[in-house]
Structure 1
Amino acid sequence: MNAPTAAGQTPDRPNVLVFFTDQQRWDTTGGHGNPLGLTPVLDRLTERGVHVEHSYTCQPVCAPSRASMQTGQYPTATGVFRNGVPLSPEVPTLAHHFRAGGYDTGYIGKWHLAGDGYTGAVPEEYRGGYEHWLAANILEFTSDAYGGTLYDEDGQPHEFDGYRADAVGDAAIRYLERPRDRPFFLFLSFIEPHHQNSRDDYPAPEGYRERYADPWTPSDLTALGGGNWAEHLPGYYGMVRRLDEVLGRLLDTLEAQGTLENTVVLFTSDHGCHFKTRNSEYKRSVHDASIRVPSTLSGPGLGTGVRLPQLVSHVDLPPTLLDAAGLPVPARMQGRSLLPLLRSAGDPWPEEVLIQVSESEVGRALRTRDWKYGVVAPEADPWREASANRYVDAYLYDLRADPDELHNLIGDPAHGEILHALRQRLADRIVESGEPRPDIRAAALD
């Protein structure tokens, strides 16, 4: 074993830190034009690293997205196609791959991959292979904004009484400051800025909601009307601001240790938030408000001040982390490492991302640079069926002319040619994801 260095890692491997938020829209960050100054720390990290300008979840709901982030596979491939389905202990995760590469692995925060049978403590077999553990399966059910419980690797409860994001950040700092003779892989999973389920509220730290009482509002929300964004944006923004402050404390800790320059940092979120403007809750739709998230990479070998214009899926992030650590990318991962793009090499990058939808509908969507095309399976049960053999057209948006996705063109006969092409492209991507080729038909119009 290599001797530990003052930086806390073996000299041939970087540390890896994932800062994972919950339900954070892409346009909450300064890098995406938000004018409120919510994310100065993240914006600086983006400026000195890689701004993944077009980053998308592959399933806009918590558990499926989290399974994809752990495995580099689509939800239907992991089996976690909706909330409440456990990630099988037989499925290799990032923790397994990093442990095999000589890493100390840690998970802190919200897990949501142990199934409906567990709310707080998670049995070892359902922890995805992580060694250090301080988490709750469904953290929103074991905590509130101030106070709650996390559980360690022995299943013992750890109470906290401060603001929840601070408590998770404090636990991460304690982990970072532990002596170790291996590099670390730490997956840090917050619930913020997700709503507090028990009261359908966005509880910012004390005094933070008031800072954003007259908030800048994304154009899709104002154009759509309805929903509850007017009530909840101030709290939501306050939660985003506090997350950025926690990120700052973590980066300061790494810098004080002398480890920051040798640490790969990924910031991303599991899905976005449309504030009940697209359906009866906050996500589970094909629209960019649900599927587009902020993503930034920083660290050794990744470049400085890079703006990556390609469309990137969550399934691409796990292979990127392994590649950045110099570890092999397993063939079963369905995404691609971004590193060849950063080196201006490699095969051509796909021109679209595939989205799977469950719970609200059994659906599939294709997001290209110019178009959003989505289909649904009307006869399928979105809580019991992961996929379908037959879909019908449901959504078509011209994203150049209509970036807020206000005008569904699916019934416009003038778009028959583009619809035909998109049907073929979507069917191809569905097959690539591991599903049988579906029958996709035009919707019956009234």
Structure 2
Amino acid sequence: MAGVGPAVTSSRDHPNVVVVFTDQQRWDTAGCYGNPMDVTPTLDAMADRGTRLEQCVSSNPVCGPQRASLQTGQYPTECGIYRNLMSGEADSPIEDTTTLADAFNDAGYRTGYVGKWHIANTRLEPVPERLRGGYEDYWLAADALEHTSQAYEGTLYDGDCEPVEFEDRYRVDFLTDHAEEFIADESDSDDPFFLFLSYLEPHHQNDQDTYVAPDGYAEEFANPWVPPDLEGRPGDWFEELPDYYGCCRRIDENLERLLATLEREGIDDETIVLFTSDHGCHFRTRNREYKRSCHESSIRVPAVLQGPGFDDGGTVEDVVSLLDLPATLLDAADVEVPDSFQGESVSPLVAGNEDGASGAERERPADAFIQVSESAVERTLRTDRWTYSVYDPDADPIDDPASPADGYVERYLYDLRADPHQQVNLIGRPDYREVADELRERLQARIREYEGTDVEILEAEYPA
């Protein structure tokens, strides 16, 4: 693994860092984002005492690319994992990329990973050390956890590539057991630690194509609150929401366990905790599956931080990307951010920081750039008000990382102030041409900045 600089020896000048990462969790499952069902009391309390990112969106709303983006600090096309890797392909590019764990290693941290990895392309086999993204000191993971386990039984692999099996234990609980073990073992060390805990839930169980809450939990949400973007649309949300919310409730209870462990070990005040997810879930209302679209239900995620630099931070209203979070964690831990990282720390936006200021005052980009793959070769600009998305109808959504002809066609335009649930596509309407033209120029600038390509974007030929 590539390094970023000399090791730091004054270790306890740096806070510990814990990332709790879920899979396919909508932002509005949480009470702190408006859910009325008391699904996430622990996360809600964490948001009250820490910092909540109001508008945090994926850099690519599909598992593998977003995970690769978060570990490398780069857009999926830049780090080379722009779609889920497939059986028979060559080794993952993660081997040759400077990662988040590399940066923490070089700063004298102990690094550990627990759960779903999904960027090594070993699928059902153990992930060899060279494909673990620099996590050196503790490893218990499966590359394709959804295929090596069920909700109450399965197999992961330890640092020696030996199988570690579980049964009669809910998967979220089992992963949390090992995260607690790592924290307890490291709490007395002179060195700080960086732990990444990656759950599969609330993602559906692939072979069953359904969500699986812990026993008895779906019943609690048998009459669930329905997010307005789902109402009136076909899809499987009616059948799946009870289990989906049940998964989120159990995750929240395990978050409570983790926070209690930090407090019990006496290190809660010196530990940064980030809770977030890779993408959302639209329950087959926007395409044939659950994500891979530019809509809020696909791209918007919960993102809450607490600990040094984030306590009493309030709410960051600016649009930010998950790609900004690797730089944010390193910045808050006073660790050098690798030059290869493409995101920007949100720490200066947090209330109470000496250099805290609005995005406009800091000339921070007032938008987020999103790459959509597998369903289409699509590029999206998400601003505080607008979602503007373009695609190449002739590109291969699986094989082409970007438009092979350097050209796109307008596809979606939503006014999030007037239509927050994205019911009316405004693309191609003459009365919105001026808005679309401005957004087109901004999106072209982002593609040029992050992908190094000048592209043509053709106007939609007719109103959507």
Correspondence list, 1:153-192, <5 A: 153-161=159-167, 162-179=169-186, 180-192=189-201
Equivalent residue number for residue 111 of structure 2:
105
Q: Deviations over 1:267-287 (max 9, x none)?
A: 000000000000000000000
**Residue 120 (structure 1) shift:** 3.8
Contact 2:428 2:461 in 1 (8 A): no
Aligned match of 1:124 = 129
Q: 3-state SS of the aligned residue for 1:397?
A: strand
Q: Deviations over 1:203-262 (max 9, x none)?
A: 000000100000000000004x21000000000000000000000001000000110110
| CA contact 1:393–1:410 (8 Å) conserved in 2 | yes
Determine the C-alpha separation between the residues in 2 that align with 1:31 and 1:413.
38
Matches of residues 271-350 of structure 1 in structure 2 within 5 Å?
A: 271-342=279-350, 343=353, 344-345=356-357, 347-350=362-365
Q: 219, 237, 242: which one pairs with 1:234?
A: 242
* Distance in 2 between residues matched to 1:118 and 1:229, nearest whole Å: 29
Partner of 1:30: 31
Following superposition, the deviation at residue 444 of structure 1 comes to: 2.9
One-letter amino acid of the counterpart of residue 356, structure 1:
Q
Once residues 29 and 108 of structure 1 are traced to their aligned partners in structure 2, the CA distance between those partners, rounded to angstroms, is 23
Give the Å deviation of 1:2: 10
Cα 1:120–1:244 shift into 2, 3 Å: farther
Structure 1 range deviating more: 342-351 or 312-321 = 342-351
> What does residue range 56-95 of structure 1 map to in structure 2 within 5 Å?
56-84=57-85, 86-95=92-101
How many residue pairs get matched?
Answer: 439
| Aligned with residue 378 of structure 1, among 389, 393, 402 | 393
Task: Give me the TM-score of the superposition, normalised by structure 1.
Answer: 0.96
CA contact (8 A) 1:284 1:360 kept: yes
CA contact (8 A) 2:228 2:421 kept: yes
Quick check: 1:142 aligned with 2:143?
no
In structure 2, distance between residues paired with 1:261 and 1:211:
34
Corresponding residue SS for 2:200: coil
Distance 1:305 1:339 in 2: 9
CA deviation after TM superposition for structure 1 residue 10, in Å: 4.2
Map of 1:55 onto structure 2: 56
- In structure 2, what residue type is equivalent to 1:30? G
Tell me the distance in 2 between the aligned counterparts of 1:328 and 1:102: 12
Q: Distance in 2 between matches of 1:372 and 1:58?
A: 14
Whether contact under 8 Å (1:17, 1:266) holds in the other structure is yes
Letter in 1 for 2:185: R
AA aligned opposite 1:414: D
Which amino acid in 1 is paired with 2:455? P
Question: Which structure 1 residue ranges, 5 or more long, are not aligned?
Answer: 4-8
State the distance in 1 between where 2:53 and 2:281 align: 19
Cross-structure match for 2:3: none
By how many angstroms is 1:413 displaced?
A: 1.2
Deviations 1:400-427 (A, max 9, x none): 1111111111121111111111110000
Q: What is the match of residue 6 of structure 1?
A: none
Other-structure match for 2:21: 20
Q: Counterparts of 1:186 and 1:28 in 2: how far apart (Å)? A: 24
Shift of 1:193: 0.2
- In structure 2, C-alpha distance between the alignment counterparts of 1:303 and 1:177, rounded to whole Å: 23
Q: CA RMSD in A?
A: 1.5
Contact 2:47 2:305 (8 Å CA) reproduced: yes
Compute the displacement of 1:295 (Å): 0.1
- Structure 2: state its 5+ residue gaps: 1-6, 87-91
- Mean Cα deviation higher: 79-88 or 367-376: 79-88
Give 2:328's aligned amino acid.
T
| CA distance in 1 between partners of 2:324 and 2:297 (Å) | 20
Amino acid corresponding to residue 253 of structure 1 in structure 2: T
CA offset at residue 386 of structure 1?
0.3
Equivalent position of 1:255 in the other structure: 263
CA contact (8 A) 1:120 1:150 kept: no
Distance 1:209 1:236 in 2: 8
User: Does the aligned pair in 1 maintain the 2:388–2:413 contact within 8 Å?
Assistant: yes
Contact persistence 1:121–1:155 (CA under 8 A): yes
2:375 aligns with 360
Task: Indicate yes or no: 2:439 matched with 1:430.
Answer: no
Structure 2 residue matching 1:433: 3-state secondary structure: helix
Runs of 4+ in 1 over 4 A off after TM superposition: none
Question: Is the contact between residue 68 and residue 94 of structure 2 (CA under 8 Å) also seen in structure 1?
Answer: no
- Give the C-alpha shift of residue 435 in structure 1: 3.1
Aligned to 2:89: none
- 2:210 partner letter: D
Partner of 1:194: 203
AA paired with 2:131? Answer: Y
Aligned partner letter, 1:430: I
